[in-house]
Amino acid sequence: MQQPLRIAPSILSADFARLGEEIQAIDAAGADYIHVDVMDGHFVPNLTIGPLVVKAARPYSKLPFDVHLMIAPADPYITAFADAGADIITVHAEAGAHLHRSLQAIKATGRKCGVSIVPSTPAQALAHVMDMVDLVLVMSVNPGFGGQSFISSQLQKIQEIRSMIDATGRLIDLEVDGGINPQTARQVRAAGADVLVAGSAVFSGNPEDYASNISALR
């Protein structure tokens, strides 16, 4: 069953010199999650942040920290991100040979457990872990950089995963990340998404604009 829509601003597009203030601003503007993109320059072609930044940012909001690990291997860092304050930890199906083990490691920390797939990975790759996850994240751009254009072929995949989730009878978030703006937000919501990750579409303009930016996505 599709759940109420939630907006997860990606702090990848925030002003890192004012990160705490930016997190407070999107919290006040009506965000539902704080999305944290962790990139290693290996699994994806960019470097971002680690557990120390998550720990430093944690006091600035009581919203769930939705931590997306675009790193390989991910397993050695799961506990560190949990201890830093992550509420949801998502790993990539493509990041290692033993996805089931990675999801077990997340569950062992007591945090919510997510799995993500890149645009070239079919929905069926998730068939045998749907009983474990709390969140499925569909990348609608190739991961690594913000500000990319939405890949429209992912709409069919979102629909397929929506059917897979509904077949479980469980409440699993279906999150979409990449190229989300007011126009594509309508499309992915219609395809079955529950959670929209948006970076530049939220952090556009001044902090006083963030509330209207989030409202436009809703």
Any catalytic annotation for residue 37? Answer: yes
CB neighbours of 109 closer than 8 A, spacing ≥ 6? 78, 79, 82, 89
Question: Is cis: bond before 207, omega within 30 of 0?
Answer: no
Q: Which of 37, 75, 173, 194 is catalytic?
A: 37
Placement of tokens 């072609």 in the chain: 45
Q: What is the DSSP letter of 124?
A: G
Exactly one of 32, 75, 173, 177 is catalytic; name it: 177
Helix, strand, coil shares of the chain as percentages rounded to 5? 40, 20, 40
Tokens matching residue 20: 């705490």
Q: Is residue 32 annotated as a catalytic residue, yes or no?
A: no
What is the rounded CA–CA span in Å between residue 161 and residue 193? 9
**Amino acid present at 119:** P
What's the half-sphere exposure (Cβ side, CA atoms, 13 Å) at 174?
A: 28
What totals of helices (H) and strands (E) does the chain contain, helices first? 7, 8
Element (H, E) at 185: helix 182-191
According to DSSP, residue 40 is labeled: B
Catalytic site residues?
Answer: 37, 177
